[in-house]
Amino acid sequence: MTGWVAIAGLGPGAEALVTPEVTATLADATDVVGYIPYVARVAERPGLTLHASDNRVEVDRARHALQMAAEGRRVVVVSSGDPGVFAMAAAVFEALEAGAPDWRDLEIRVLPGITAMLAASARAGAPLGHDFCAINLSDNLKPWALIEKRLRLAAEADFAMAFYNPRSKARPEGFARVLEVLRAACGDDRPVIFARAVSTPEEKLTVVPLTEARPEMADMRTVVLVGSSLTRVLRAGDRPLVYTPRSAPE
């Protein structure tokens, strides 16, 4: 048997947003590896072994996947959203770079998924319709000073922004600081979208001007989108539609 590794994105939550490519690859796998809640989204079946682990062991999990593939198993490493966005694809390549030389002969594929910011953007309208950037607000893997620097420069460059991992119980104060920095850089009126649990039964979308944004509006199931200076909010019935025009003035 020839082993392989596929690093797959399961999308933001809804079954309908899992790509057919990911579904077909899971149907052909012998092993699925990933963080506990993501592995729980994969249906059990005979011949498939599920290996669920804690979030903090990304590189161990990646090594385990590569080792199993080297032994001839067909392994899918699952992430939510897209596996290349703050997720397992980079961890697998880190493990590959530091690992056994023969791992580089393995077939390794990255299967894209719908990332949270794009699912949220589609729900809100088209807030990311012009230039934008994505910033992970967790300081688990980088210093807080770097997050603040990137935030200030992104605001200065007038990007729309998407924030992943905005606020956890372990670091509630970071997102309050982010809002302070944004208010100083962008003024009070900038539209902010709090998109929670997009495409799941718990989905909730809140659109407020920056001046009304509060730290408690975000948690670890929320992606936060902040408009650029050109982003507008249209009222369509009782639904706010947020969009950033396709062009910027000279």
Ligand X SMILES: C[S@@+](CC[C@H](N)C(=O)[O-])C[C@H]1O[C@@H](n2cnc3c(N)ncnc32)[C@H](O)[C@@H]1O
Among 4, 115, 125, 151, binds ligand X (CB under 6 A): 115
Which of these ranges, 23-31, 152-160, 162-170, 237-245, lies near ligand X under the rule CB under 6 A?
162-170
In the bound state with ligand X, the residue whose beta carbon lies nearer, of 30 and 136, is 136
Interaction between residue 116 and ligand X (CB under 6 A): yes
The distance from CA 136 to its chain's CA centroid, rounded to whole angstroms, is: 9
Instruction: Report how many residues bind ligand X under the rule CB under 6 A.
Output: 25
Task: Tell me the one-letter amino acid at 125.
Answer: G
In the bound state with ligand X, the residue whose beta carbon lies nearer, of 176 and 220, is 220
**218 Ramachandran zone, left/alpha/beta (phi>0; psi -120 to 50):** beta
CA angle 227, 86, 77 (to 5 degrees): 140
- Minimum CB separation from ligand X for residue 105, in Å? 27
Rounded to whole angstroms, the maximal C-alpha distance in the chain is 61
Binding mask 62-101 for ligand X (x = CB under 6 A): -----------------xxxx--xxx--------------
- What distances in angstroms separate CA 207 from CA 173, 189, 229, one per listed residue? 22, 11, 16
Residues between 178 and 217 with contacts to ligand X, criterion CB under 6 A: 195-200
Among 222, 228, 231, 244, binds ligand X (CB under 6 A): 222
Task: Tell me the one-letter amino acid at 136.
Answer: N
Tokens of 190: 């900038």
